[in-house]
């Protein structure tokens, strides 16, 4: 397993991180436990969850599985997206963040999280309030590093500026949809993060399966796939995206690897990327994706992939979670 620093911080994380959105939903407790142990046994040290994943089941499962073994992982969670229907059950106000952190710590059975991330920008709360609340959490020893998620480049830069102005802890990372099928972060966010020392943590690295080779031209969506279980996903399946998936599959066959492994490896090769979140509902999925951490890509292959996906630098992001 490769390890690299999370942004310009001293914290080292595995090139592949384990996303736990499926825990308590598509993966029950026993399967989730197997996935976590397999990840740790194979060098993954970064586990990413959130206060709203599977209700709160994802955090609860992680807390139970890691009990007695907390020191072996870099544990990351998030807050900010709606947790309930109350007016203070969302956003990044001091009120909401402190309440949600305490809930997450209880469910995770720990007295601190290594990375606490704001799940999305909150236009209704002054950024200074958010950054000072996070600073207090760090000073209290309940949070070690702070990160953002789903921030536009200008929002993230403003937050960094406030931290610098008042001598507060800075965001060391940001999560964003980033893949060969969604290169929109390269327009503004990537150069800003490279300049400011913020590490990017891509989510949806396989664009919901488009880059896995499972959706072929004229073929029926596989049983149980996202295209079958989520009707709204059909909007992403068009000649352009399926064509990209086919091209990635062709390159992968030349390298004797799967399209998923190749797509993940491309992200790992991006200098701005600190760790790539891969979700899993079965151990077998994680076992396959782990191969991406050791796959070396030539300059020729990287150029071939970037040329094939160049048009995906423009248009709308594949995914973006914002407060209404």
Instruction: Find, among 196, 191, 195, the residue nearest to 164 by Cα.
Output: 196
**Catalytic residue check, 95:** no
Cα–Cα distance, 96 to 105 (Å, whole number): 14
Which residues of 204-312 form beta strands (DSSP E)?
A: 276-279
Q: How far is CA 18 from CA 63, 201, 202, in A?
A: 15, 11, 12
Cα dist. 144→10, 98, 106, 255, 293 in Å?
Answer: 11, 15, 17, 40, 26
Q: Which of 53, 116, 203, 215 is catalytic?
A: 53
Q: Report the DSSP pairing between strands 3-5 and 12-14.
A: antiparallel
The CA distance from 230 to 302, in Å, is 32
**Residue 322 in contact with residue 120, Cβ under 8 Å?**
yes
**Tally of CB atoms within 10 A around 198:** 28
Q: Note whether 320 and 150 are within 8 A (CB).
A: yes
The residues assigned a catalytic role are 53
């Amino acid at each position: 397993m490769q390890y690299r620093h999370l942004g310009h911080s001293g914290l080292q994380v595995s090139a592949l991180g384990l996303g736990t959105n499926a825990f308590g939903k598509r993966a029950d407790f026993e399967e989730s436990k197997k996935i976590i142990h397999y990840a740790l046994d194979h060098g993954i040290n970064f586990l990413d969850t959130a206060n709203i994943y599977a209700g709160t089941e994802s955090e609860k499962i992680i807390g139970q599985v890691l009990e007695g073994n907390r020191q072996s992982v870099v544990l990351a969670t998030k807050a900010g997206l709606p947790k309930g229907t109350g007016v203070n059950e969302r956003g990044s106000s001091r009120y909401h963040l402190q309440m949600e952190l305490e809930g997450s710590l209880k469910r995770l059975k720990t007295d601190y999280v290594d990375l606490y991330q704001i799940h999305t920008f909150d236009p209704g709360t002054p950024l200074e309030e958010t950054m000072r609340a996070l600073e207090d959490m760090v000073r209290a020893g309940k949070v070690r590093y702070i990160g953002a998620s789903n921030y536009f480049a200008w929002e993230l830069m403003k937050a960094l500026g406030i931290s610098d102005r008042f001598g507060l802890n800075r965001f060391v990372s940001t999560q964003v949809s980033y893949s060969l099928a969604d290169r929109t972060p390269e327009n503004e966010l990537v150069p800003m993060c490279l300049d400011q020392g913020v590490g990017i943590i891509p989510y949806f690295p396989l664009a919901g399966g488009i880059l896995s080779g499972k959706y072929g031209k004229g073929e029926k969506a596989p049983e149980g796939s996202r295209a079958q279980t989520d009707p709204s996903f059909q909007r992403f399946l068009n000649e352009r995206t399926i064509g990209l998936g086919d091209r990635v599959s062709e390159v992968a066959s030349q390298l004797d690897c799967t399209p998923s492994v190749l797509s993940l490896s491309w992200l790992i090769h991006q200098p701005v990327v600190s760790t790539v979140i891969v979700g899993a509902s079965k151990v077998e999925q994680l076992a396959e994706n782990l191969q991406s951490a050791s796959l070396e890509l030539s300059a020729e292959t990287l150029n071939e992939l970037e040329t094939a996906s160049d048009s995906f630098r423009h248009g709308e992001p594949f995914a973006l979670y914002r407060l209404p």
